Amino acid sequence: MATQNFDVCVIGAGPGGYVAAIRAAQLGKKTVIIEREYLGGVCLNVGCIPSKAMISAAHFLHRVQHDAPEMGIEIKSDVKVNMKKLVSWKQSVCDQMSGGVSQLLKGNQVTIIRGEAEFKTAQELVVKSKEGATSIVAKNFIIATGSRPIEIPGFKIDEKEVLSSTGALALDELPKTAVVIGGGYIGLEIGSYLSKLGTEVTVLEAGATLLNGVAERDCVQVVERKLKKGGVKIVFGAKAKSYKKTGSDYEVEYDLAGKLEKVKCAKLLLTVGRRPNSDQANLKGIGLQIDEKGFVKVNAQRRTSIAHIFAIGDVAGQPMLAHKASYEGVLVAEVIGGMNRAYDAKTVPAVVFTDPEIASAGMLESECRAKGYNDLKIGKFPFAANGRAVSLKETDGFVKIIADAKTNIVLGVHMVGPEVSNLISEAALAIEMGARVEDLALTIHPHPTLGEVVMEAAEATLGHAIHIIQKPLSRAEGSSVRATH
Protein backbone atom coordinates (compact mmCIF):
# COMPACT_ATOMS: atom_id res chain seq x y z
CA MET A 1 0.00 0.00 0.00
CA ALA A 2 1.48 3.31 -1.12
CA THR A 3 1.91 6.13 1.40
CA GLN A 4 1.55 9.83 0.61
CA ASN A 5 2.53 12.70 2.92
CA PHE A 6 0.78 16.06 3.22
CA ASP A 7 0.67 19.14 5.40
CA VAL A 8 -3.12 19.12 5.45
CA CYS A 9 -5.59 16.31 4.81
CA VAL A 10 -9.28 17.24 4.48
CA ILE A 11 -11.89 14.50 4.79
CA GLY A 12 -15.05 15.45 2.91
CA ALA A 13 -15.44 17.78 -0.07
CA GLY A 14 -18.65 19.52 0.96
CA PRO A 15 -19.02 23.30 1.45
CA GLY A 16 -16.77 23.15 4.52
CA GLY A 17 -14.17 20.71 3.26
CA TYR A 18 -13.45 22.03 -0.22
CA VAL A 19 -13.26 25.61 1.07
CA ALA A 20 -10.80 24.54 3.79
CA ALA A 21 -8.66 22.70 1.24
CA ILE A 22 -8.51 25.68 -1.12
CA ARG A 23 -7.61 28.12 1.65
CA ALA A 24 -4.94 25.78 3.04
CA ALA A 25 -3.41 25.44 -0.42
CA GLN A 26 -3.48 29.23 -0.89
CA LEU A 27 -1.45 29.49 2.31
CA GLY A 28 1.23 27.26 0.85
CA LYS A 29 0.25 23.99 2.48
CA LYS A 30 0.55 20.73 0.57
CA THR A 31 -3.09 19.67 0.71
CA VAL A 32 -5.15 16.59 -0.11
CA ILE A 33 -8.94 16.24 -0.03
CA ILE A 34 -10.71 12.91 0.23
CA GLU A 35 -14.27 12.45 -0.99
CA ARG A 36 -16.26 9.22 -1.22
CA GLU A 37 -19.16 10.53 -3.26
CA TYR A 38 -19.59 14.06 -4.69
CA LEU A 39 -17.32 17.07 -4.96
CA GLY A 40 -19.41 19.78 -3.35
CA GLY A 41 -21.02 17.34 -0.93
CA VAL A 42 -24.68 16.84 -0.13
CA CYS A 43 -25.45 20.57 -0.30
CA LEU A 44 -24.31 21.13 -3.84
CA ASN A 45 -25.39 17.80 -5.33
CA VAL A 46 -28.50 16.53 -3.53
CA GLY A 47 -29.42 19.30 -1.09
CA CYS A 48 -29.20 23.10 -1.15
CA ILE A 49 -28.55 23.72 -4.83
CA PRO A 50 -30.87 21.15 -6.47
CA SER A 51 -33.70 21.98 -4.08
CA LYS A 52 -33.41 25.68 -4.92
CA ALA A 53 -33.42 24.85 -8.63
CA MET A 54 -36.65 22.87 -8.24
CA ILE A 55 -38.17 25.53 -5.98
CA SER A 56 -37.32 28.22 -8.56
CA ALA A 57 -38.97 26.20 -11.34
CA ALA A 58 -42.08 25.55 -9.24
CA HIS A 59 -42.35 29.22 -8.29
CA PHE A 60 -41.98 30.19 -11.94
CA LEU A 61 -44.82 27.82 -12.89
CA HIS A 62 -47.01 29.21 -10.12
CA ARG A 63 -46.40 32.76 -11.33
CA VAL A 64 -47.30 31.81 -14.90
CA GLN A 65 -50.51 30.11 -13.80
CA HIS A 66 -51.70 32.59 -11.20
CA ASP A 67 -50.06 35.99 -11.67
CA ALA A 68 -49.58 36.23 -15.44
CA PRO A 69 -53.30 36.48 -16.32
CA GLU A 70 -53.85 39.30 -13.83
CA MET A 71 -50.87 41.13 -15.30
CA GLY A 72 -52.45 40.89 -18.76
CA ILE A 73 -50.24 38.09 -20.05
CA GLU A 74 -52.51 35.60 -21.79
CA ILE A 75 -51.27 32.05 -22.28
CA LYS A 76 -53.65 30.30 -24.67
CA SER A 77 -52.46 26.72 -24.19
CA ASP A 78 -52.08 24.66 -21.02
CA VAL A 79 -48.75 24.93 -19.25
CA LYS A 80 -47.41 21.43 -18.65
CA VAL A 81 -44.58 20.12 -16.51
CA ASN A 82 -42.13 17.73 -18.17
CA MET A 83 -40.72 16.19 -14.99
CA LYS A 84 -37.91 14.29 -16.68
CA LYS A 85 -36.71 17.44 -18.45
CA LEU A 86 -37.05 19.46 -15.24
CA VAL A 87 -34.94 16.96 -13.30
CA SER A 88 -32.42 16.91 -16.14
CA TRP A 89 -32.12 20.72 -15.98
CA LYS A 90 -31.76 20.55 -12.20
CA GLN A 91 -28.95 18.02 -12.63
CA SER A 92 -27.20 20.27 -15.14
CA VAL A 93 -27.14 23.01 -12.48
CA CYS A 94 -25.56 20.61 -9.98
CA ASP A 95 -23.05 19.30 -12.52
CA GLN A 96 -22.00 22.83 -13.41
CA MET A 97 -21.42 23.71 -9.77
CA SER A 98 -19.64 20.45 -8.97
CA GLY A 99 -17.43 20.90 -12.02
CA GLY A 100 -16.57 24.37 -10.74
CA VAL A 101 -15.45 22.92 -7.40
CA SER A 102 -13.24 20.41 -9.23
CA GLN A 103 -11.62 23.19 -11.25
CA LEU A 104 -11.03 25.31 -8.15
CA LEU A 105 -9.37 22.44 -6.28
CA LYS A 106 -7.16 21.52 -9.21
CA GLY A 107 -6.37 25.16 -9.93
CA ASN A 108 -5.10 25.53 -6.38
CA GLN A 109 -3.01 22.34 -6.66
CA VAL A 110 -5.11 20.39 -4.17
CA THR A 111 -4.74 16.62 -4.59
CA ILE A 112 -8.13 14.91 -4.94
CA ILE A 113 -8.49 11.29 -3.83
CA ARG A 114 -11.79 9.44 -4.24
CA GLY A 115 -12.66 6.83 -1.65
CA GLU A 116 -13.67 6.02 1.92
CA ALA A 117 -11.32 7.38 4.60
CA GLU A 118 -10.70 5.71 7.93
CA PHE A 119 -8.20 6.73 10.59
CA LYS A 120 -5.59 4.09 11.39
CA THR A 121 -3.90 6.30 13.97
CA ALA A 122 -4.12 9.99 14.83
CA GLN A 123 -1.35 10.61 12.28
CA GLU A 124 -2.43 8.28 9.47
CA LEU A 125 -5.56 7.25 7.64
CA VAL A 126 -6.31 4.75 4.91
CA VAL A 127 -8.40 5.57 1.86
CA LYS A 128 -10.18 2.60 0.28
CA SER A 129 -11.49 2.72 -3.27
CA LYS A 130 -12.14 0.39 -6.19
CA GLU A 131 -8.54 0.86 -7.27
CA GLY A 132 -7.19 -0.26 -3.88
CA ALA A 133 -5.98 1.34 -0.67
CA THR A 134 -3.78 4.39 -0.08
CA SER A 135 -2.16 5.49 3.17
CA ILE A 136 -2.25 9.21 3.95
CA VAL A 137 0.06 10.71 6.57
CA ALA A 138 -0.50 14.37 7.43
CA LYS A 139 0.60 17.00 9.91
CA ASN A 140 -2.98 18.26 10.22
CA PHE A 141 -6.38 16.72 9.52
CA ILE A 142 -9.69 18.51 8.96
CA ILE A 143 -12.81 16.39 9.46
CA ALA A 144 -15.64 17.69 7.28
CA THR A 145 -17.71 14.55 6.92
CA GLY A 146 -21.12 16.21 7.25
CA SER A 147 -24.39 14.57 8.23
CA ARG A 148 -27.11 12.25 6.99
CA PRO A 149 -30.92 12.05 7.33
CA ILE A 150 -32.34 10.75 10.60
CA GLU A 151 -34.51 7.64 10.32
CA ILE A 152 -37.38 6.78 12.66
CA PRO A 153 -38.73 3.34 13.55
CA GLY A 154 -40.87 1.89 10.79
CA PHE A 155 -39.46 4.18 8.09
CA LYS A 156 -36.15 3.05 6.65
CA ILE A 157 -34.95 5.32 3.85
CA ASP A 158 -34.38 3.38 0.65
CA GLU A 159 -35.10 6.18 -1.89
CA LYS A 160 -37.75 3.93 -3.46
CA GLU A 161 -40.56 3.62 -0.95
CA VAL A 162 -39.29 6.01 1.74
CA LEU A 163 -37.53 9.03 0.26
CA SER A 164 -35.08 11.46 1.81
CA SER A 165 -34.53 14.85 0.21
CA THR A 166 -32.14 13.09 -2.20
CA GLY A 167 -34.86 10.90 -3.67
CA ALA A 168 -37.46 13.65 -3.59
CA LEU A 169 -35.26 15.83 -5.78
CA ALA A 170 -34.77 13.09 -8.40
CA LEU A 171 -38.37 12.10 -9.17
CA ASP A 172 -38.85 11.44 -12.89
CA GLU A 173 -42.63 11.54 -12.49
CA LEU A 174 -44.70 14.01 -10.50
CA PRO A 175 -46.64 12.09 -7.83
CA LYS A 176 -50.35 12.80 -7.48
CA THR A 177 -50.10 12.68 -3.70
CA ALA A 178 -47.26 12.86 -1.17
CA VAL A 179 -46.92 12.63 2.59
CA VAL A 180 -44.10 14.60 4.20
CA ILE A 181 -43.13 13.41 7.69
CA GLY A 182 -41.61 16.39 9.48
CA GLY A 183 -42.48 20.09 9.34
CA GLY A 184 -38.92 21.40 9.41
CA TYR A 185 -37.28 23.47 6.72
CA ILE A 186 -36.30 20.54 4.46
CA GLY A 187 -39.79 19.03 4.48
CA LEU A 188 -41.50 22.37 3.90
CA GLU A 189 -39.18 23.40 1.08
CA ILE A 190 -39.68 20.12 -0.78
CA GLY A 191 -43.37 19.91 0.08
CA SER A 192 -43.86 23.44 -1.23
CA TYR A 193 -42.18 22.74 -4.55
CA LEU A 194 -44.19 19.53 -5.07
CA SER A 195 -47.42 21.33 -4.21
CA LYS A 196 -46.76 24.13 -6.69
CA LEU A 197 -46.08 21.58 -9.42
CA GLY A 198 -49.46 19.94 -8.73
CA THR A 199 -48.97 17.27 -6.05
CA GLU A 200 -51.49 17.03 -3.21
CA VAL A 201 -49.24 17.30 -0.14
CA THR A 202 -49.93 16.32 3.47
CA VAL A 203 -47.43 17.31 6.16
CA LEU A 204 -47.35 15.25 9.36
CA GLU A 205 -45.70 17.26 12.14
CA ALA A 206 -45.25 15.72 15.59
CA GLY A 207 -45.07 19.11 17.30
CA ALA A 208 -47.54 21.93 17.68
CA THR A 209 -45.93 24.27 15.15
CA LEU A 210 -43.92 24.27 11.95
CA LEU A 211 -40.22 25.24 12.01
CA ASN A 212 -40.16 25.03 15.79
CA GLY A 213 -37.22 27.00 17.18
CA VAL A 214 -35.98 27.83 13.68
CA ALA A 215 -37.88 31.06 13.05
CA GLU A 216 -40.07 33.62 14.80
CA ARG A 217 -43.59 32.32 15.26
CA ASP A 218 -45.20 35.31 13.51
CA CYS A 219 -42.98 34.69 10.46
CA VAL A 220 -43.95 31.01 10.41
CA GLN A 221 -47.65 31.89 10.58
CA VAL A 222 -47.39 33.78 7.27
CA VAL A 223 -45.90 30.70 5.57
CA GLU A 224 -48.40 28.38 7.23
CA ARG A 225 -51.34 30.42 5.95
CA LYS A 226 -50.01 30.41 2.41
CA LEU A 227 -49.30 26.67 2.49
CA LYS A 228 -52.89 25.99 3.54
CA LYS A 229 -54.22 28.46 0.95
CA GLY A 230 -52.23 26.55 -1.68
CA GLY A 231 -53.86 23.27 -0.70
CA VAL A 232 -51.20 21.76 1.57
CA LYS A 233 -52.77 19.85 4.46
CA ILE A 234 -50.87 20.17 7.75
CA VAL A 235 -51.56 17.81 10.66
CA PHE A 236 -50.03 18.87 13.98
CA GLY A 237 -49.38 16.42 16.81
CA ALA A 238 -49.11 13.60 14.26
CA LYS A 239 -46.57 10.88 15.13
CA ALA A 240 -45.86 8.58 12.19
CA LYS A 241 -45.91 4.92 13.21
CA SER A 242 -45.70 2.73 10.12
CA TYR A 243 -46.61 2.39 6.48
CA LYS A 244 -47.63 -0.36 4.10
CA LYS A 245 -48.08 -0.74 0.36
CA THR A 246 -51.69 -0.80 -0.81
CA GLY A 247 -51.87 -1.39 -4.54
CA SER A 248 -49.80 1.28 -6.26
CA ASP A 249 -49.95 3.61 -3.25
CA TYR A 250 -48.78 3.62 0.36
CA GLU A 251 -50.84 3.90 3.50
CA VAL A 252 -49.22 5.80 6.34
CA GLU A 253 -50.45 5.22 9.88
CA TYR A 254 -49.94 7.93 12.48
CA ASP A 255 -50.91 8.59 16.08
CA LEU A 256 -53.02 11.70 16.64
CA ALA A 257 -53.89 12.38 20.28
CA GLY A 258 -53.84 8.67 21.06
CA LYS A 259 -55.95 7.66 18.07
CA LEU A 260 -54.49 5.91 15.03
CA GLU A 261 -55.22 7.70 11.75
CA LYS A 262 -54.33 6.77 8.16
CA VAL A 263 -53.46 8.70 5.02
CA LYS A 264 -52.68 7.37 1.54
CA CYS A 265 -50.02 8.70 -0.80
CA ALA A 266 -48.08 7.89 -3.94
CA LYS A 267 -44.77 9.03 -2.41
CA LEU A 268 -43.53 9.16 1.17
CA LEU A 269 -40.89 11.68 2.24
CA LEU A 270 -39.05 11.47 5.58
CA THR A 271 -37.52 14.77 6.74
CA VAL A 272 -37.25 14.69 10.53
CA GLY A 273 -33.73 16.09 10.74
CA ARG A 274 -30.12 15.12 10.19
CA ARG A 275 -27.49 13.43 12.34
CA PRO A 276 -23.71 14.03 12.24
CA ASN A 277 -21.47 11.42 10.61
CA SER A 278 -19.28 11.13 13.69
CA ASP A 279 -19.74 7.36 13.83
CA GLN A 280 -17.69 6.96 10.67
CA ALA A 281 -13.97 7.14 9.74
CA ASN A 282 -13.01 5.54 13.10
CA LEU A 283 -13.13 8.88 14.90
CA LYS A 284 -13.85 7.32 18.27
CA GLY A 285 -11.21 4.67 17.63
CA ILE A 286 -8.42 7.24 17.62
CA GLY A 287 -9.75 8.89 20.78
CA LEU A 288 -11.74 11.89 19.53
CA GLN A 289 -14.33 13.07 22.02
CA ILE A 290 -17.96 12.97 20.81
CA ASP A 291 -20.78 14.68 22.73
CA GLU A 292 -24.15 13.15 23.67
CA LYS A 293 -25.75 14.45 20.44
CA GLY A 294 -23.10 12.87 18.25
CA PHE A 295 -21.12 16.03 17.44
CA VAL A 296 -17.34 16.03 17.56
CA LYS A 297 -16.23 18.22 20.45
CA VAL A 298 -14.23 21.25 19.29
CA ASN A 299 -12.90 24.47 20.79
CA ALA A 300 -13.12 28.01 19.38
CA GLN A 301 -10.42 27.18 16.80
CA ARG A 302 -12.32 24.03 15.88
CA ARG A 303 -9.58 21.83 17.31
CA THR A 304 -10.74 18.46 18.56
CA SER A 305 -9.43 16.66 21.66
CA ILE A 306 -6.39 15.81 19.50
CA ALA A 307 -4.70 19.13 18.77
CA HIS A 308 -3.67 18.56 15.13
CA ILE A 309 -7.12 17.26 14.15
CA PHE A 310 -9.89 19.78 13.47
CA ALA A 311 -13.61 19.33 12.77
CA ILE A 312 -15.94 21.67 10.89
CA GLY A 313 -19.47 21.85 9.54
CA ASP A 314 -22.37 19.54 10.42
CA VAL A 315 -20.16 17.02 12.20
CA ALA A 316 -18.95 19.72 14.61
CA GLY A 317 -22.24 21.11 15.88
CA GLN A 318 -25.22 23.35 15.24
CA PRO A 319 -26.29 25.18 13.23
CA MET A 320 -26.00 22.58 10.47
CA LEU A 321 -25.77 25.10 7.63
CA ALA A 322 -23.49 25.20 4.59
CA HIS A 323 -22.32 28.79 5.08
CA LYS A 324 -21.33 28.09 8.67
CA ALA A 325 -19.25 25.14 7.43
CA SER A 326 -17.52 27.31 4.81
CA TYR A 327 -16.74 29.98 7.41
CA GLU A 328 -15.20 27.35 9.67
CA GLY A 329 -13.26 25.89 6.75
CA VAL A 330 -11.47 29.18 6.09
CA LEU A 331 -10.94 29.72 9.82
CA VAL A 332 -9.30 26.32 10.39
CA ALA A 333 -7.07 26.61 7.32
CA GLU A 334 -5.85 29.98 8.60
CA VAL A 335 -5.25 28.58 12.10
CA ILE A 336 -3.13 25.83 10.52
CA GLY A 337 -1.39 28.54 8.50
CA GLY A 338 -0.34 30.27 11.73
CA MET A 339 -2.96 33.00 11.90
CA ASN A 340 -4.55 34.03 15.18
CA ARG A 341 -8.16 33.06 14.42
CA ALA A 342 -11.03 31.82 16.55
CA TYR A 343 -14.75 31.35 15.95
CA ASP A 344 -16.38 34.50 17.29
CA ALA A 345 -19.29 35.12 14.92
CA LYS A 346 -22.17 36.93 16.60
CA THR A 347 -24.72 35.41 14.26
CA VAL A 348 -25.14 32.76 11.60
CA PRO A 349 -28.00 33.94 9.38
CA ALA A 350 -30.53 31.31 8.32
CA VAL A 351 -32.91 31.10 5.38
CA VAL A 352 -35.90 28.86 4.70
CA PHE A 353 -36.85 28.77 1.00
CA THR A 354 -40.59 28.37 1.46
CA ASP A 355 -43.15 30.67 -0.16
CA PRO A 356 -42.74 33.29 1.05
CA GLU A 357 -39.14 32.90 2.18
CA ILE A 358 -38.12 33.22 5.82
CA ALA A 359 -34.76 34.66 6.88
CA SER A 360 -33.30 35.51 10.26
CA ALA A 361 -30.16 36.89 11.86
CA GLY A 362 -29.46 37.29 15.54
CA MET A 363 -31.71 36.21 18.38
CA LEU A 364 -35.37 35.28 18.42
CA GLU A 365 -37.51 37.41 20.72
CA SER A 366 -37.72 34.49 23.18
CA GLU A 367 -33.93 34.12 23.12
CA CYS A 368 -33.48 37.83 23.86
CA ARG A 369 -35.66 37.55 26.94
CA ALA A 370 -33.98 34.32 28.04
CA LYS A 371 -30.64 36.13 27.94
CA GLY A 372 -31.91 38.95 30.13
CA TYR A 373 -32.96 41.51 27.54
CA ASN A 374 -36.33 42.26 29.10
CA ASP A 375 -36.54 45.85 27.85
CA LEU A 376 -36.93 45.61 24.09
CA LYS A 377 -37.92 47.75 21.14
CA ILE A 378 -39.65 45.75 18.44
CA GLY A 379 -40.81 47.14 15.12
CA LYS A 380 -42.35 45.69 11.97
CA PHE A 381 -42.84 46.96 8.46
CA PRO A 382 -45.02 45.06 5.94
CA PHE A 383 -44.06 44.31 2.35
CA ALA A 384 -47.63 45.32 1.42
CA ALA A 385 -46.56 48.94 1.97
CA ASN A 386 -43.53 48.65 -0.31
CA GLY A 387 -43.84 49.75 -3.95
CA ARG A 388 -41.42 47.19 -5.34
CA ALA A 389 -43.21 44.33 -3.57
CA VAL A 390 -46.56 45.53 -4.90
CA SER A 391 -45.17 45.70 -8.44
CA LEU A 392 -43.89 42.13 -8.06
CA LYS A 393 -47.26 40.93 -6.73
CA GLU A 394 -45.33 39.60 -3.73
CA THR A 395 -46.79 41.43 -0.75
CA ASP A 396 -47.04 38.74 1.94
CA GLY A 397 -44.85 39.20 5.00
CA PHE A 398 -42.79 41.79 6.83
CA VAL A 399 -39.42 42.68 8.34
CA LYS A 400 -39.20 42.62 12.13
CA ILE A 401 -36.38 44.22 14.11
CA ILE A 402 -35.65 43.53 17.77
CA ALA A 403 -33.38 45.93 19.65
CA ASP A 404 -32.21 46.56 23.21
CA ALA A 405 -34.36 49.49 24.37
CA LYS A 406 -31.55 50.82 26.56
CA THR A 407 -28.95 51.07 23.80
CA ASN A 408 -30.93 50.62 20.53
CA ILE A 409 -28.38 47.94 19.55
CA VAL A 410 -29.90 45.49 17.07
CA LEU A 411 -30.30 42.03 18.63
CA GLY A 412 -32.30 40.22 15.97
CA VAL A 413 -33.83 40.74 12.55
CA HIS A 414 -36.50 38.38 11.22
CA MET A 415 -38.03 38.52 7.78
CA VAL A 416 -40.74 36.73 5.85
CA GLY A 417 -41.49 37.81 2.32
CA PRO A 418 -40.11 38.12 -1.21
CA GLU A 419 -36.34 37.76 -1.69
CA VAL A 420 -35.60 37.95 2.04
CA SER A 421 -32.83 35.41 1.43
CA ASN A 422 -31.05 38.28 -0.34
CA LEU A 423 -32.02 40.94 2.21
CA ILE A 424 -30.83 39.20 5.38
CA SER A 425 -27.12 39.85 4.80
CA GLU A 426 -27.59 43.53 5.64
CA ALA A 427 -29.07 42.48 8.97
CA ALA A 428 -26.25 40.01 9.62
CA LEU A 429 -23.68 42.75 9.02
CA ALA A 430 -25.57 45.11 11.34
CA ILE A 431 -25.55 42.57 14.16
CA GLU A 432 -21.93 41.57 13.55
CA MET A 433 -20.75 45.19 13.81
CA GLY A 434 -22.96 46.00 16.80
CA ALA A 435 -25.08 48.48 14.87
CA ARG A 436 -27.87 50.53 16.42
CA VAL A 437 -31.33 50.78 14.93
CA GLU A 438 -30.46 54.33 13.84
CA ASP A 439 -27.65 52.97 11.65
CA LEU A 440 -30.21 51.09 9.57
CA ALA A 441 -32.79 53.88 9.63
CA LEU A 442 -30.34 56.61 8.59
CA THR A 443 -28.72 54.62 5.78
CA ILE A 444 -30.18 55.76 2.45
CA HIS A 445 -31.69 52.75 0.67
CA PRO A 446 -32.35 52.90 -3.09
CA HIS A 447 -35.93 53.26 -4.32
CA PRO A 448 -37.92 51.37 -5.39
CA THR A 449 -36.41 48.25 -3.84
CA LEU A 450 -37.36 45.55 -1.38
CA GLY A 451 -34.42 46.64 0.74
CA GLU A 452 -36.33 49.76 1.76
CA VAL A 453 -38.41 47.54 4.03
CA VAL A 454 -35.36 47.03 6.28
CA MET A 455 -34.91 50.79 6.59
CA GLU A 456 -38.61 51.33 7.24
CA ALA A 457 -38.68 48.53 9.82
CA ALA A 458 -35.87 50.35 11.61
CA GLU A 459 -37.91 53.55 11.47
CA ALA A 460 -40.88 51.63 12.85
CA THR A 461 -38.74 50.33 15.70
CA LEU A 462 -37.86 53.93 16.54
CA GLY A 463 -41.53 54.88 16.36
CA HIS A 464 -41.66 57.04 13.26
CA ALA A 465 -42.12 54.96 10.12
CA ILE A 466 -43.26 57.04 7.16
CA HIS A 467 -45.26 54.62 5.05
CA ILE A 468 -47.42 53.00 7.72
CA ILE A 469 -49.64 54.61 10.34
CA GLN A 470 -48.18 53.91 13.77
CA LYS A 471 -49.60 54.27 17.20
CA PRO A 472 -47.30 56.29 19.45
CA LEU A 473 -44.73 54.06 21.12
CA SER A 474 -45.24 53.47 24.81
CA ARG A 475 -43.70 51.26 27.47
CA ALA A 476 -45.77 48.11 27.92
CA GLU A 477 -45.70 47.42 31.67
CA GLY A 478 -42.11 48.59 31.70
CA SER A 479 -40.89 45.57 29.79
CA SER A 480 -40.99 46.31 26.08
CA VAL A 481 -41.70 48.87 23.42
CA ARG A 482 -43.57 47.61 20.38
CA ALA A 483 -44.31 49.27 17.08
CA THR A 484 -47.61 48.24 15.53
CA HIS A 485 -49.29 48.65 12.21
Task: Specify whether the CB–CB gap between 184 and 208 falls below 8 A.
Answer: no
Q: How far apart are CA 356 and CA 408, in angstroms?
A: 29
Task: Specify whether the CB–CB gap between 46 and 149 falls below 8 A.
Answer: no
Task: Specify whether the CB–CB gap between 297 and 289 falls below 8 A.
Answer: yes
Q: Give the Å distances, CA to CA, from 8 to 132, 283, 334, 335, 436.
A: 22, 17, 12, 12, 41
Pick the catalytic residue: 59, 447, 464, 485?
Answer: 447
Report the candidate in 446, 443, 448 with the shortest Cα–Cα distance to residue 410: 443
Q: How far apart are CA 267 and CA 191, in angstroms?
A: 11
Torsional sign, CA 82, 87, 92, 94 = positive
The answer to whether 447 is a known catalytic residue is yes
Q: How far apart are CA 39 and CA 17, in angstroms?
A: 10
Q: How far apart are CA 207 and CA 214, in angstroms?
A: 13
Other C-beta atoms closer than 10 Å to the C-beta of 75 total 10
Q: How far apart are CA 381 and CA 400, in angstroms?
A: 7
Strands 475-476 and 233-236: unpaired
Catalytic residues: 447
